[in-house]
A and B are shown apart, each in its own frame.
Chain A
Amino acid sequence: MAQVLIEATNLEVRYGGIAAVRGISFAVEENEVVCLIGANGAGKTSTLKALARMLPSHGEIHYGSERIDTLRGHELIGRGLALVPEGRGVFSRLTVAENLAMGAYHRSDRPGIAVDLERIYTLLPRLGERAAQVAGTLSGGEQQMLAIGRALMGRPRLLVLDEPSMGLAPLMVEKIFEVIRTVAAEGMTILLVEQNAKLALELCSRGYVMESGVISVADTAERLLADPRVRAAYLGE
Protein backbone atom coordinates (compact mmCIF):
# COMPACT_ATOMS: atom_id res chain seq x y z
CA MET A 1 0.00 0.00 0.00
CA ALA A 2 1.24 3.46 -0.91
CA GLN A 3 2.17 6.07 1.68
CA VAL A 4 -0.37 8.75 2.55
CA LEU A 5 1.27 12.11 1.74
CA ILE A 6 -1.35 14.52 3.02
CA GLU A 7 -4.36 13.85 5.16
CA ALA A 8 -6.96 16.25 6.52
CA THR A 9 -9.21 15.16 9.38
CA ASN A 10 -12.36 17.06 10.33
CA LEU A 11 -11.10 20.17 8.58
CA GLU A 12 -13.21 23.22 9.26
CA VAL A 13 -12.80 26.77 7.92
CA ARG A 14 -14.93 29.64 9.15
CA TYR A 15 -15.26 33.22 7.95
CA GLY A 16 -16.63 35.00 11.00
CA GLY A 17 -19.77 33.05 11.86
CA ILE A 18 -20.09 31.33 8.50
CA ALA A 19 -18.56 27.89 8.01
CA ALA A 20 -17.19 27.51 4.49
CA VAL A 21 -15.74 24.05 5.12
CA ARG A 22 -17.60 21.90 7.61
CA GLY A 23 -15.48 19.13 9.01
CA ILE A 24 -14.25 17.31 5.93
CA SER A 25 -11.69 14.49 5.81
CA PHE A 26 -9.67 13.41 2.82
CA ALA A 27 -6.26 12.05 1.92
CA VAL A 28 -3.85 11.98 -0.99
CA GLU A 29 -1.36 9.17 -1.37
CA GLU A 30 2.11 9.45 -2.79
CA ASN A 31 2.18 9.60 -6.64
CA GLU A 32 -1.58 9.94 -6.77
CA VAL A 33 -3.54 12.53 -8.75
CA VAL A 34 -6.66 13.45 -6.83
CA CYS A 35 -9.24 16.05 -7.67
CA LEU A 36 -11.70 18.02 -5.66
CA ILE A 37 -14.66 19.12 -7.74
CA GLY A 38 -17.77 21.05 -6.92
CA ALA A 39 -19.77 24.14 -7.72
CA ASN A 40 -18.83 27.72 -7.01
CA GLY A 41 -18.82 28.41 -3.27
CA ALA A 42 -18.67 24.75 -2.24
CA GLY A 43 -15.56 25.45 -0.15
CA LYS A 44 -12.86 24.07 -2.47
CA THR A 45 -10.58 27.09 -2.41
CA SER A 46 -11.03 27.52 1.34
CA THR A 47 -9.93 23.91 1.77
CA LEU A 48 -6.76 24.48 -0.23
CA LYS A 49 -6.04 27.75 1.56
CA ALA A 50 -6.30 25.91 4.85
CA LEU A 51 -3.86 23.25 3.61
CA ALA A 52 -1.40 25.96 2.60
CA ARG A 53 -1.95 27.76 5.93
CA MET A 54 -3.24 30.89 4.21
CA LEU A 55 -6.37 30.66 6.37
CA PRO A 56 -6.82 29.58 9.99
CA SER A 57 -8.73 26.31 10.36
CA HIS A 58 -9.83 23.69 12.85
CA GLY A 59 -9.16 20.00 12.59
CA GLU A 60 -5.90 18.26 11.87
CA ILE A 61 -3.73 18.28 8.75
CA HIS A 62 -0.93 15.77 8.51
CA TYR A 63 1.72 15.97 5.85
CA GLY A 64 4.01 12.96 5.75
CA SER A 65 4.59 12.15 9.38
CA GLU A 66 4.21 15.76 10.51
CA ARG A 67 1.25 17.77 11.71
CA ILE A 68 1.26 20.99 9.66
CA ASP A 69 -1.83 22.89 10.78
CA THR A 70 0.28 24.48 13.51
CA LEU A 71 2.84 25.83 11.04
CA ARG A 72 2.90 29.19 9.29
CA GLY A 73 2.36 29.59 5.56
CA HIS A 74 5.98 30.24 4.61
CA GLU A 75 7.16 27.06 6.35
CA LEU A 76 5.40 24.68 3.96
CA ILE A 77 7.26 24.98 0.67
CA GLY A 78 10.48 23.90 2.35
CA ARG A 79 8.67 20.66 3.24
CA GLY A 80 7.61 20.17 -0.36
CA LEU A 81 4.05 21.49 -0.43
CA ALA A 82 3.49 23.94 -3.30
CA LEU A 83 0.18 25.66 -4.03
CA VAL A 84 -0.67 27.33 -7.33
CA PRO A 85 -3.24 29.77 -6.00
CA GLU A 86 -6.60 30.62 -7.49
CA GLY A 87 -6.26 33.49 -9.93
CA ARG A 88 -2.63 32.47 -10.55
CA GLY A 89 -1.05 35.00 -8.16
CA VAL A 90 1.97 35.77 -10.30
CA PHE A 91 4.01 38.77 -9.17
CA SER A 92 2.96 41.07 -11.98
CA ARG A 93 5.69 43.66 -11.41
CA LEU A 94 8.45 41.04 -11.43
CA THR A 95 9.85 39.53 -14.61
CA VAL A 96 9.09 35.95 -15.60
CA ALA A 97 12.63 34.92 -14.61
CA GLU A 98 12.28 36.66 -11.23
CA ASN A 99 8.94 34.93 -10.62
CA LEU A 100 10.59 31.58 -11.29
CA ALA A 101 13.50 32.51 -9.03
CA MET A 102 11.01 33.21 -6.24
CA GLY A 103 9.62 29.70 -6.71
CA ALA A 104 13.03 28.42 -5.70
CA TYR A 105 13.48 31.01 -2.93
CA HIS A 106 13.69 28.43 -0.16
CA ARG A 107 16.34 26.39 -1.96
CA SER A 108 20.07 26.95 -1.78
CA ASP A 109 21.31 24.32 -4.27
CA ARG A 110 22.27 26.61 -7.13
CA PRO A 111 23.17 23.84 -9.62
CA GLY A 112 19.88 22.06 -8.90
CA ILE A 113 17.95 25.29 -9.41
CA ALA A 114 19.67 25.85 -12.77
CA VAL A 115 18.76 22.31 -13.87
CA ASP A 116 15.13 22.81 -12.85
CA LEU A 117 14.97 26.16 -14.64
CA GLU A 118 16.14 24.48 -17.86
CA ARG A 119 13.52 21.78 -17.36
CA ILE A 120 10.76 24.39 -16.88
CA TYR A 121 11.83 26.27 -20.00
CA THR A 122 11.67 22.98 -21.93
CA LEU A 123 8.29 22.06 -20.50
CA LEU A 124 6.91 25.60 -20.95
CA PRO A 125 8.86 27.16 -23.83
CA ARG A 126 6.74 30.33 -23.77
CA LEU A 127 8.27 31.22 -20.41
CA GLY A 128 11.75 30.96 -21.85
CA GLU A 129 10.85 33.30 -24.69
CA ARG A 130 9.47 35.82 -22.24
CA ALA A 131 11.98 35.40 -19.41
CA ALA A 132 12.87 39.10 -19.25
CA GLN A 133 9.30 40.33 -19.64
CA VAL A 134 7.31 41.72 -16.71
CA ALA A 135 4.74 39.08 -15.70
CA GLY A 136 1.86 41.58 -15.66
CA THR A 137 2.11 41.87 -19.43
CA LEU A 138 1.61 38.13 -20.05
CA SER A 139 -1.70 36.72 -21.23
CA GLY A 140 -3.87 34.85 -18.73
CA GLY A 141 -2.77 31.47 -20.03
CA GLU A 142 0.89 32.42 -19.93
CA GLN A 143 0.43 33.65 -16.37
CA GLN A 144 -1.09 30.30 -15.44
CA MET A 145 1.88 28.53 -16.99
CA LEU A 146 4.18 30.82 -15.06
CA ALA A 147 2.34 30.06 -11.82
CA ILE A 148 2.71 26.32 -12.42
CA GLY A 149 6.35 26.69 -13.47
CA ARG A 150 7.05 28.77 -10.39
CA ALA A 151 5.54 26.10 -8.14
CA LEU A 152 7.60 23.39 -9.86
CA MET A 153 10.76 25.44 -9.26
CA GLY A 154 10.30 24.63 -5.59
CA ARG A 155 10.78 20.93 -6.47
CA PRO A 156 7.61 20.02 -4.56
CA ARG A 157 6.51 16.57 -3.40
CA LEU A 158 2.89 17.67 -3.51
CA LEU A 159 1.57 20.08 -6.13
CA VAL A 160 -1.75 21.68 -5.25
CA LEU A 161 -3.54 23.44 -8.10
CA ASP A 162 -6.49 25.74 -7.55
CA GLU A 163 -8.70 26.18 -10.64
CA PRO A 164 -5.96 26.23 -13.27
CA SER A 165 -8.57 26.58 -16.03
CA MET A 166 -10.25 29.63 -14.57
CA GLY A 167 -10.90 32.41 -17.06
CA LEU A 168 -8.96 30.79 -19.90
CA ALA A 169 -9.93 30.08 -23.50
CA PRO A 170 -10.64 26.37 -24.24
CA LEU A 171 -7.51 26.02 -26.33
CA MET A 172 -5.39 27.40 -23.50
CA VAL A 173 -7.14 25.16 -20.96
CA GLU A 174 -6.19 22.17 -23.13
CA LYS A 175 -2.54 23.32 -23.12
CA ILE A 176 -2.50 23.81 -19.36
CA PHE A 177 -3.96 20.36 -18.76
CA GLU A 178 -1.41 18.89 -21.14
CA VAL A 179 1.29 20.34 -18.89
CA ILE A 180 -0.39 18.98 -15.77
CA ARG A 181 -0.65 15.53 -17.43
CA THR A 182 3.08 15.64 -18.24
CA VAL A 183 3.95 16.55 -14.66
CA ALA A 184 1.66 13.82 -13.34
CA ALA A 185 3.22 11.26 -15.68
CA GLU A 186 6.60 12.05 -14.11
CA GLY A 187 5.19 10.80 -10.81
CA MET A 188 4.23 14.08 -9.12
CA THR A 189 1.57 13.86 -6.43
CA ILE A 190 -1.17 16.31 -7.37
CA LEU A 191 -4.25 17.64 -5.66
CA LEU A 192 -6.36 19.48 -8.20
CA VAL A 193 -9.35 21.69 -7.58
CA GLU A 194 -11.49 22.31 -10.65
CA GLN A 195 -14.89 23.52 -11.65
CA ASN A 196 -14.44 21.88 -15.00
CA ALA A 197 -15.32 18.44 -13.60
CA LYS A 198 -15.02 16.45 -16.81
CA LEU A 199 -11.53 17.69 -17.55
CA ALA A 200 -10.45 17.09 -13.96
CA LEU A 201 -11.91 13.59 -13.67
CA GLU A 202 -10.30 12.51 -16.93
CA LEU A 203 -6.94 13.44 -15.43
CA CYS A 204 -7.34 12.07 -11.91
CA SER A 205 -7.45 8.61 -10.49
CA ARG A 206 -9.72 9.54 -7.59
CA GLY A 207 -12.04 12.40 -6.83
CA TYR A 208 -13.98 14.07 -4.08
CA VAL A 209 -17.17 16.00 -4.74
CA MET A 210 -17.73 18.98 -2.47
CA GLU A 211 -21.12 20.51 -1.81
CA SER A 212 -21.82 23.38 0.62
CA GLY A 213 -18.74 22.72 2.70
CA VAL A 214 -18.96 18.94 2.95
CA ILE A 215 -17.71 16.05 0.84
CA SER A 216 -20.81 14.42 -0.64
CA VAL A 217 -19.21 11.72 -2.79
CA ALA A 218 -15.75 10.17 -2.81
CA ASP A 219 -14.84 7.57 -5.41
CA THR A 220 -12.54 6.66 -8.27
CA ALA A 221 -12.61 9.04 -11.18
CA GLU A 222 -14.03 6.38 -13.45
CA ARG A 223 -17.01 5.70 -11.26
CA LEU A 224 -17.57 9.43 -10.61
CA LEU A 225 -17.65 10.03 -14.34
CA ALA A 226 -20.29 7.33 -14.65
CA ASP A 227 -22.28 8.39 -11.58
CA PRO A 228 -25.63 9.81 -12.75
CA ARG A 229 -25.76 12.33 -9.87
CA VAL A 230 -22.33 13.69 -10.76
CA ARG A 231 -23.21 13.70 -14.43
CA ALA A 232 -26.37 15.66 -13.75
CA ALA A 233 -24.87 18.18 -11.38
CA TYR A 234 -21.39 18.80 -12.78
CA LEU A 235 -21.15 17.46 -16.28
CA GLY A 236 -24.21 19.27 -17.60
CA GLU A 237 -26.19 16.20 -18.61
Chain B
Amino acid sequence: METLLQQIINGLTTGSVYAVVALGYTMVYGVIQLINFAHGEVVMIGAMVAFGVITGLAGSGLPASMIVAAGVLAAVPACMAIGYSLERVAYRPLRHAPRLAPLITAIGMSIILQHVALLIWGRNPLAFPQIIANPTVSIGLAEISAVQIAIILLSFLMMGGLSWFVYRTRFGIAMRATAENVQVAGLMGINADRVIAATFVIGAALGAVAGVMFGTYYGIAHYTMGFTLGLKAFSAAVLGGIGNLPGAMVGGLLLGLVEALGTGYIGDLTNLCQWPVVDAWLGERCADGAHFILFGSNYQDVFAFVMLILVLVFRPSGLLGERVSERA
Protein backbone atom coordinates (compact mmCIF):
# COMPACT_ATOMS: atom_id res chain seq x y z
CA MET B 1 0.00 0.00 0.00
CA GLU B 2 2.84 2.39 0.84
CA THR B 3 4.59 1.51 -2.38
CA LEU B 4 1.40 1.94 -4.36
CA LEU B 5 0.66 5.45 -3.12
CA GLN B 6 4.28 6.56 -3.25
CA GLN B 7 4.77 5.27 -6.75
CA ILE B 8 1.57 6.96 -7.90
CA ILE B 9 2.95 10.26 -6.65
CA ASN B 10 6.31 9.64 -8.30
CA GLY B 11 4.60 8.51 -11.47
CA LEU B 12 2.46 11.62 -11.61
CA THR B 13 5.58 13.74 -11.28
CA THR B 14 7.57 12.15 -14.09
CA GLY B 15 4.36 11.59 -16.05
CA SER B 16 3.53 15.27 -16.09
CA VAL B 17 7.03 16.03 -17.39
CA TYR B 18 6.59 13.37 -20.11
CA ALA B 19 3.22 14.90 -20.97
CA VAL B 20 4.68 18.38 -21.43
CA VAL B 21 7.52 17.05 -23.60
CA ALA B 22 5.09 14.85 -25.54
CA LEU B 23 3.06 17.95 -26.44
CA GLY B 24 6.07 19.22 -28.37
CA TYR B 25 6.20 16.04 -30.45
CA THR B 26 2.49 15.82 -31.02
CA MET B 27 1.98 19.50 -31.97
CA VAL B 28 4.64 19.37 -34.66
CA TYR B 29 3.37 16.04 -35.92
CA GLY B 30 -0.17 17.36 -35.99
CA VAL B 31 0.76 20.28 -38.21
CA ILE B 32 3.40 18.87 -40.58
CA GLN B 33 3.38 15.09 -39.94
CA LEU B 34 7.04 15.20 -38.93
CA ILE B 35 8.48 13.45 -35.90
CA ASN B 36 10.90 16.05 -34.64
CA PHE B 37 13.46 13.72 -33.09
CA ALA B 38 15.56 16.71 -32.06
CA HIS B 39 12.88 17.77 -29.55
CA GLY B 40 14.44 15.70 -26.75
CA GLU B 41 17.70 17.55 -27.30
CA VAL B 42 15.92 20.91 -27.11
CA VAL B 43 14.59 19.79 -23.72
CA MET B 44 18.12 18.80 -22.67
CA ILE B 45 19.53 22.19 -23.69
CA GLY B 46 16.78 23.85 -21.66
CA ALA B 47 17.98 21.95 -18.60
CA MET B 48 21.64 22.72 -19.30
CA VAL B 49 21.09 26.47 -19.79
CA ALA B 50 18.99 26.67 -16.64
CA PHE B 51 21.53 24.69 -14.61
CA GLY B 52 24.26 27.05 -15.81
CA VAL B 53 22.32 30.09 -14.65
CA ILE B 54 21.24 28.45 -11.39
CA THR B 55 24.81 27.39 -10.56
CA GLY B 56 26.05 30.88 -11.40
CA LEU B 57 23.51 32.51 -9.11
CA ALA B 58 23.74 29.89 -6.34
CA GLY B 59 26.14 31.94 -4.23
CA SER B 60 24.39 35.26 -4.81
CA GLY B 61 22.16 35.03 -1.77
CA LEU B 62 18.99 35.48 -3.78
CA PRO B 63 15.99 33.40 -2.70
CA ALA B 64 16.02 29.92 -4.23
CA SER B 65 12.72 30.39 -6.02
CA MET B 66 14.05 33.48 -7.78
CA ILE B 67 17.22 31.66 -8.82
CA VAL B 68 15.22 28.81 -10.33
CA ALA B 69 12.88 31.26 -12.03
CA ALA B 70 15.90 33.03 -13.54
CA GLY B 71 17.10 29.66 -14.83
CA VAL B 72 13.75 29.00 -16.48
CA LEU B 73 13.61 32.51 -17.91
CA ALA B 74 17.00 31.94 -19.52
CA ALA B 75 16.16 28.45 -20.80
CA VAL B 76 12.82 29.30 -22.41
CA PRO B 77 14.02 31.94 -24.93
CA ALA B 78 17.16 29.89 -25.68
CA CYS B 79 15.04 26.86 -26.57
CA MET B 80 12.52 28.94 -28.50
CA ALA B 81 15.37 30.27 -30.63
CA ILE B 82 16.66 26.73 -31.22
CA GLY B 83 13.16 25.48 -32.08
CA TYR B 84 12.69 28.30 -34.56
CA SER B 85 16.11 27.75 -36.14
CA LEU B 86 15.52 24.00 -36.45
CA GLU B 87 12.36 24.59 -38.42
CA ARG B 88 13.83 27.38 -40.51
CA VAL B 89 17.17 25.77 -41.34
CA ALA B 90 16.56 22.04 -41.20
CA TYR B 91 12.90 21.30 -41.92
CA ARG B 92 11.42 24.11 -44.03
CA PRO B 93 13.67 23.46 -47.04
CA LEU B 94 12.51 19.83 -46.93
CA ARG B 95 8.81 20.45 -46.50
CA HIS B 96 7.92 19.09 -49.92
CA ALA B 97 10.60 16.39 -49.93
CA PRO B 98 9.77 12.71 -49.41
CA ARG B 99 8.92 12.12 -45.76
CA LEU B 100 12.04 10.12 -45.05
CA ALA B 101 14.29 13.13 -45.74
CA PRO B 102 13.09 15.39 -42.90
CA LEU B 103 12.98 12.38 -40.58
CA ILE B 104 16.65 11.64 -41.19
CA THR B 105 17.41 15.35 -40.88
CA ALA B 106 15.67 15.33 -37.50
CA ILE B 107 17.93 12.53 -36.29
CA GLY B 108 20.93 14.45 -37.63
CA MET B 109 19.84 17.61 -35.83
CA SER B 110 19.45 15.62 -32.64
CA ILE B 111 23.04 14.38 -32.90
CA ILE B 112 24.33 17.88 -33.71
CA LEU B 113 22.55 19.44 -30.73
CA GLN B 114 23.88 16.72 -28.43
CA HIS B 115 27.42 17.41 -29.52
CA VAL B 116 27.04 21.15 -29.30
CA ALA B 117 25.92 20.60 -25.71
CA LEU B 118 28.91 18.32 -25.17
CA LEU B 119 31.25 21.06 -26.43
CA ILE B 120 29.68 23.76 -24.27
CA TRP B 121 29.03 21.93 -20.99
CA GLY B 122 31.45 19.02 -21.17
CA ARG B 123 30.90 15.32 -20.66
CA ASN B 124 30.33 15.42 -16.91
CA PRO B 125 26.82 15.81 -15.54
CA LEU B 126 25.93 19.19 -14.08
CA ALA B 127 24.65 18.89 -10.54
CA PHE B 128 21.80 20.96 -9.22
CA PRO B 129 23.31 23.15 -6.50
CA GLN B 130 22.04 22.77 -2.96
CA ILE B 131 19.88 25.86 -2.84
CA ILE B 132 16.47 24.38 -2.27
CA ALA B 133 15.42 22.96 1.02
CA ASN B 134 13.06 20.35 -0.33
CA PRO B 135 10.63 19.67 2.51
CA THR B 136 8.30 16.73 2.17
CA VAL B 137 4.70 16.53 3.19
CA SER B 138 3.18 13.27 4.38
CA ILE B 139 -0.10 12.32 2.85
CA GLY B 140 -1.31 9.11 4.38
CA LEU B 141 1.37 6.49 3.97
CA ALA B 142 3.34 8.33 1.31
CA GLU B 143 5.33 11.49 1.01
CA ILE B 144 5.32 14.22 -1.56
CA SER B 145 8.13 16.75 -1.84
CA ALA B 146 7.84 20.44 -2.54
CA VAL B 147 9.62 19.95 -5.87
CA GLN B 148 7.12 17.26 -6.86
CA ILE B 149 4.20 19.51 -5.99
CA ALA B 150 5.76 22.34 -8.01
CA ILE B 151 6.39 20.08 -11.02
CA ILE B 152 2.86 18.69 -11.05
CA LEU B 153 1.24 22.12 -10.60
CA LEU B 154 3.40 23.82 -13.21
CA SER B 155 2.83 21.01 -15.72
CA PHE B 156 -0.92 21.13 -15.34
CA LEU B 157 -0.80 24.91 -15.62
CA MET B 158 1.12 24.65 -18.89
CA MET B 159 -1.18 21.94 -20.26
CA GLY B 160 -4.21 24.04 -19.37
CA GLY B 161 -2.64 27.14 -20.88
CA LEU B 162 -1.79 25.36 -24.12
CA SER B 163 -5.29 23.89 -24.37
CA TRP B 164 -6.79 27.32 -23.90
CA PHE B 165 -4.47 28.73 -26.55
CA VAL B 166 -5.13 26.01 -29.12
CA TYR B 167 -8.87 25.63 -28.58
CA ARG B 168 -9.95 29.16 -27.68
CA THR B 169 -7.77 31.72 -29.42
CA ARG B 170 -7.93 32.78 -33.06
CA PHE B 171 -4.35 31.76 -33.71
CA GLY B 172 -4.94 28.42 -32.01
CA ILE B 173 -7.92 27.71 -34.26
CA ALA B 174 -5.75 28.70 -37.23
CA MET B 175 -3.16 26.17 -36.06
CA ARG B 176 -5.77 23.41 -36.00
CA ALA B 177 -7.09 24.51 -39.38
CA THR B 178 -3.57 24.37 -40.84
CA ALA B 179 -3.04 20.94 -39.29
CA GLU B 180 -6.10 19.70 -41.10
CA ASN B 181 -5.64 21.29 -44.53
CA VAL B 182 -2.71 23.59 -45.30
CA GLN B 183 -4.03 24.64 -48.71
CA VAL B 184 -7.50 25.61 -47.56
CA ALA B 185 -5.99 27.33 -44.51
CA GLY B 186 -4.02 29.39 -47.02
CA LEU B 187 -7.28 30.41 -48.70
CA MET B 188 -8.36 31.82 -45.34
CA GLY B 189 -5.28 34.03 -45.31
CA ILE B 190 -3.45 31.86 -42.79
CA ASN B 191 0.28 31.94 -43.44
CA ALA B 192 1.33 28.32 -43.01
CA ASP B 193 4.99 29.23 -42.52
CA ARG B 194 4.12 31.35 -39.51
CA VAL B 195 1.85 28.70 -38.01
CA ILE B 196 4.48 25.99 -38.43
CA ALA B 197 7.22 28.18 -36.96
CA ALA B 198 4.95 29.04 -34.02
CA THR B 199 4.31 25.34 -33.42
CA PHE B 200 8.02 24.66 -33.10
CA VAL B 201 8.59 27.69 -30.88
CA ILE B 202 5.73 26.87 -28.50
CA GLY B 203 6.77 23.21 -28.31
CA ALA B 204 10.34 24.26 -27.54
CA ALA B 205 9.24 26.69 -24.83
CA LEU B 206 7.23 23.94 -23.11
CA GLY B 207 10.18 21.59 -23.57
CA ALA B 208 12.54 24.06 -21.93
CA VAL B 209 10.43 24.21 -18.79
CA ALA B 210 10.06 20.43 -18.84
CA GLY B 211 13.84 20.07 -19.07
CA VAL B 212 14.37 22.29 -16.03
CA MET B 213 11.74 20.36 -14.08
CA PHE B 214 13.21 17.00 -15.01
CA GLY B 215 16.75 18.11 -14.13
CA THR B 216 15.62 19.61 -10.85
CA TYR B 217 13.73 16.46 -9.91
CA TYR B 218 16.69 14.14 -10.44
CA GLY B 219 19.28 16.72 -9.39
CA ILE B 220 21.42 16.40 -12.52
CA ALA B 221 21.52 17.47 -16.13
CA HIS B 222 23.63 15.76 -18.76
CA TYR B 223 24.12 16.18 -22.49
CA THR B 224 22.65 12.73 -23.17
CA MET B 225 19.56 13.15 -20.99
CA GLY B 226 17.42 14.28 -23.95
CA PHE B 227 17.68 10.96 -25.74
CA THR B 228 15.84 8.66 -23.32
CA LEU B 229 13.52 11.42 -22.13
CA GLY B 230 12.69 12.28 -25.72
CA LEU B 231 12.03 8.66 -26.68
CA LYS B 232 9.77 8.20 -23.68
CA ALA B 233 7.83 11.36 -24.40
CA PHE B 234 7.53 10.28 -28.02
CA SER B 235 6.18 6.93 -26.79
CA ALA B 236 3.71 8.86 -24.64
CA ALA B 237 2.59 10.87 -27.67
CA VAL B 238 2.06 7.68 -29.68
CA LEU B 239 0.28 6.08 -26.73
CA GLY B 240 -2.21 8.94 -26.63
CA GLY B 241 -2.51 9.17 -30.41
CA ILE B 242 0.13 11.22 -32.18
CA GLY B 243 -1.14 14.58 -33.38
CA ASN B 244 -3.74 14.69 -30.60
CA LEU B 245 -3.11 17.20 -27.78
CA PRO B 246 -5.28 15.66 -25.03
CA GLY B 247 -3.80 12.33 -26.13
CA ALA B 248 -0.26 13.51 -25.42
CA MET B 249 -1.28 14.71 -21.96
CA VAL B 250 -3.09 11.48 -21.07
CA GLY B 251 -0.34 9.40 -22.66
CA GLY B 252 2.39 11.17 -20.70
CA LEU B 253 0.65 10.81 -17.36
CA LEU B 254 -0.24 7.18 -18.04
CA LEU B 255 3.30 6.37 -19.10
CA GLY B 256 4.69 7.98 -15.95
CA LEU B 257 2.32 5.97 -13.77
CA VAL B 258 2.99 2.67 -15.53
CA GLU B 259 6.70 3.26 -15.32
CA ALA B 260 6.63 4.18 -11.63
CA LEU B 261 4.33 1.33 -10.63
CA GLY B 262 6.24 -1.12 -12.80
CA THR B 263 9.53 -0.05 -11.28
CA GLY B 264 8.03 -0.22 -7.81
CA TYR B 265 6.74 -3.76 -8.16
CA ILE B 266 8.96 -5.46 -10.70
CA GLY B 267 11.45 -6.52 -8.03
CA ASP B 268 8.79 -8.16 -5.88
CA LEU B 269 7.05 -9.74 -8.82
CA THR B 270 10.19 -11.28 -10.27
CA ASN B 271 11.57 -12.44 -6.94
CA LEU B 272 11.93 -16.11 -7.75
CA CYS B 273 12.06 -17.13 -4.12
CA GLN B 274 8.36 -16.36 -3.67
CA TRP B 275 7.32 -19.23 -5.95
CA PRO B 276 7.36 -22.49 -3.93
CA VAL B 277 8.56 -24.74 -6.74
CA VAL B 278 11.38 -22.45 -7.83
CA ASP B 279 12.17 -21.77 -4.20
CA ALA B 280 12.77 -25.46 -3.56
CA TRP B 281 14.85 -25.76 -6.70
CA LEU B 282 17.02 -22.79 -5.82
CA GLY B 283 17.53 -24.34 -2.41
CA GLU B 284 19.79 -22.42 -0.11
CA ARG B 285 19.93 -19.33 -2.34
CA CYS B 286 16.48 -18.63 -1.00
CA ALA B 287 17.20 -19.67 2.55
CA ASP B 288 16.36 -17.29 5.40
CA GLY B 289 14.11 -15.06 3.31
CA ALA B 290 16.80 -14.18 0.79
CA HIS B 291 15.78 -12.70 -2.54
CA PHE B 292 16.59 -13.88 -6.00
CA ILE B 293 15.34 -11.02 -8.11
CA LEU B 294 15.29 -11.55 -11.85
CA PHE B 295 14.50 -7.97 -12.90
CA GLY B 296 15.28 -5.09 -10.57
CA SER B 297 14.27 -1.46 -10.67
CA ASN B 298 17.13 -0.82 -13.09
CA TYR B 299 14.69 -2.09 -15.71
CA GLN B 300 12.82 1.21 -15.31
CA ASP B 301 13.32 2.30 -18.92
CA VAL B 302 11.84 -0.90 -20.31
CA PHE B 303 8.24 -0.05 -19.47
CA ALA B 304 7.91 2.93 -21.79
CA PHE B 305 9.12 0.96 -24.76
CA VAL B 306 7.10 -2.16 -23.95
CA MET B 307 4.06 0.10 -23.90
CA LEU B 308 5.10 1.68 -27.19
CA ILE B 309 5.32 -1.77 -28.78
CA LEU B 310 1.97 -2.85 -27.34
CA VAL B 311 0.26 0.30 -28.59
CA LEU B 312 1.78 -0.05 -32.04
CA VAL B 313 0.62 -3.67 -32.23
CA PHE B 314 -2.86 -3.39 -30.77
CA ARG B 315 -3.96 0.22 -31.25
CA PRO B 316 -1.68 2.03 -33.69
CA SER B 317 -3.82 5.17 -33.70
CA GLY B 318 -3.32 5.52 -29.93
CA LEU B 319 -5.82 5.84 -27.12
CA LEU B 320 -7.45 9.07 -28.35
CA GLY B 321 -6.35 9.07 -31.98
CA GLU B 322 -8.82 9.88 -34.77
CA ARG B 323 -12.14 9.76 -33.07
CA VAL B 324 -13.81 12.23 -35.41
CA SER B 325 -15.53 10.57 -38.30
CA GLU B 326 -14.94 12.41 -41.54
CA ARG B 327 -17.71 12.42 -44.06
CA ALA B 328 -16.99 13.32 -47.62
Contacts and interface: CB of A to CB of B under 8 A. Distances in A.
B1 to A, nearest CB: 43
A105 B180 contact: no
Contacts of A134: 324
Interface stretch (A10-18, A76-84, A178-186, A212-220): A76-84
B170 A91 contact: no
Name the residue in A98, A106, A134, A140 with the highest tally of chain B Cβ atoms < 10 Å from its Cβ: A98
B189 A154 contact: yes
B272 to A, nearest CB: 51
A56 interface: no
Given A89-B181, A94-B176, A136-B324, A101 B187 contact: no
A91 B177 contact: yes
A231 to B, nearest CB: 32
A93 B246 CA distance: 14
Nearest to B187: A83
A77 B189 contact: yes
B312 to A, nearest CB: 24
Nearest to A107: B189
Interface residues of A, number: 34
A74 B325 contact: no
Contact of B187 (A77, A137, A139, A140): A77
Contacts of B170: 101, 105
Contacts of A77: 187-189
A92 B184 contact: no
Contact of B173 (A87, A94, A137): A94
A74 B192 contact: yes
Contacts of B188: 74, 77, 102-103, 105-106, 150, 154
For the complex of A and B, the 7 pairs showing the least CB-CB separation, nearest first, are A106-B189, A73-B186, A89-B184, A77-B189, A74-B186, A102-B188, A105-B188
Interface of B: 170, 173-174, 176-177, 180-181, 183-192, 324-328
